[in-house]
Structure 1
Amino acid sequence: MKKATILLVFFTLSSLVTLAQKSSKIEKQFLEWFFIKNLKIKDDHILYVSKSSVYTIKEMKKYFDKDTLTGLILSRKITVAPQIIYTKNERKYVVRKIEKLETETLPDNILPFAKIISSDTLNHIFNDRTKGWNYAYKKGIKGYYHFTKPIFFRNGTLCIFDYGYGCGNLCGYGNTSVYKKTEDGWILCLQLDNWIS
């Protein structure tokens, strides 16, 4: 009986490790596509914050208050907003994943050209009114990204992802969008919000 229990625990842990590795591989593939092919980042390095903000998580949850995700109309040629109707189980699953973002942190070097900028560094720069972006520029910080872990649903064919880039007092942009898996990577399916400063 003891051997059976030990074997069961071993196989369960092995399965969890395999699942985690598969999940992180899919996340990495999406992030590489997003930053390299979609945003066409050519920098030899970018900085990013390792944790999602409380505000971002709160805003992302709002999209799942109803059973339909409705995107923004991004072209004058389109007169009806694009939508995705999701199941109750998909909704519960995605909301749980969004809530997990509150405690999860992105690993360092999640991409070959990316490096975490610590919250302490940002607080040191931006909580002091005498410093701010001019000080950041002098220290070689041209800007930094913040983004969530990609959340995959519908058997990995759809992904909700939030990102933003801050580069100055009136310099920044970002959005929350749903992407659809294709043979070549991903395509924008719905843009749920966007901002620019």
Structure 2
Amino acid sequence: MKNISCFLFLIFLFSCREKDENLDLKYEVLNQLIKEDSQKKTDLIYLYKTSSATNFNILNLDKEKIDEFTIIPNVLELKSDSIFSSQDIEYLISQTVPYDSKVFDLDKEKIIGKYDIIKESDLFELKSNYNGAKDYWIKFNDKFGKKCLRNYSEPIFNLRKDVCIVQISESCGPLWGGGYTGIFKKLNGIWVQIGTQDHWIS
């Protein structure tokens, strides 16, 4: 009985440690991205937030075959290569399911530096009486000032935790927005963008 208790305790300790390590890595990535964005020369003023849910849709091309000319919007297409193994892809997918119930708000205490950060809940009132994009942005500017909204998804990682995927988007008005999915690799302690997919603009 004592051995079983010790075994269960070790499993619990390991799972908590792994969860904490992932959380630290997520904020390591997000802190770097926010800092780099803030240092770019621009007249725009940003509010920062994470997406309302981890909403990646990943297609494993090792298991599902599609025509090479077929384009599936809002889907990240991955296959085993020099960046991701087949096991990596399955692990990435496991971090997105069920994506519609996972909410990850930026914790201001974990962001290094002084930035304007808002939560998804700060936008609920604006979305509850939605009368179109133009009306939404009028209300947005009344509440927050003339600012843009910069969104980051919750980072997801490969098995070695040295490559991650982040969706990044930006909105400055009803007809001004864009984004993409970035693939980042940790090189010499810095997360370097090594690939992109799913670019969009409005």
TM-score using structure 2 length: 0.72
In the other structure, the counterpart of 1:189 is: 194
1:13-162 equivalences in 2 (<5 Å): 13-38=12-37, 40=39, 46-52=47-53, 56-58=55-57, 61-62=58-59, 64-66=60-62, 85=81, 86-109=84-107, 111-112=111-112, 113=115, 114-118=117-121, 120-124=124-128, 127-129=130-132, 131-140=135-144, 142-162=147-167
CA change 1:57–1:66 in 2 (3 A) is same
Report the alpha carbon displacement of residue 115 of structure 1 after superposing the two structures with TM.
2.7
Report the alpha carbon displacement of residue 124 of structure 1 after superposing the two structures with TM.
2.8
CA contact (8 A) 1:50 1:116 kept: no
- Runs in 1 of length 4+ with deviation above 6 angstroms? 41-45
Deviation string, structure 1 residues 66-88 (Cα, Å, up to 9, x no partner) = 48xxxxxxxxxxxxxxx971322
Report the alpha carbon displacement of residue 186 of structure 1 after superposing the two structures with TM.
1.3
Q: Distance in 1 between matches of 2:25 and 2:200?
A: 27
Please state whether the residue corresponding to 1:115 is helix, strand or coil: coil
CA change 1:27–1:108 in 2 (3 A) is closer
Q: Distance in 2 between matches of 1:14 and 1:173?
A: 42
- Percentage of matched positions with identical amino acids: 17
State the aligned residue count: 175
Q: Which runs of no fewer than 5 residues in structure 1 stay unpaired?
A: 68-82
Deviates more, 1:139-148 or 1:39-48: 39-48
Q: Distance in 2 between matches of 1:47 and 1:90?
A: 29
CA change 1:153–1:39 in 2 (3 A) is farther
Q: Distance in 1 between matches of 2:37 and 2:186?
A: 13
Q: Distance in 2 between matches of 1:186 and 1:50?
A: 20
Letter in 2 for 1:65: L
CA change 1:45–1:5 in 2 (3 A) is farther
Q: Distance in 2 between matches of 1:108 and 1:157?
A: 21
User: Aligned-pair RMSD on alpha carbons?
Assistant: 2.9
Q: Which runs of no fewer than 5 residues in structure 2 stay unpaired?
A: 64-78
In the other structure, the counterpart of 2:184 is: 179
Report the alpha carbon displacement of residue 44 of structure 1 after superposing the two structures with TM.
9.4
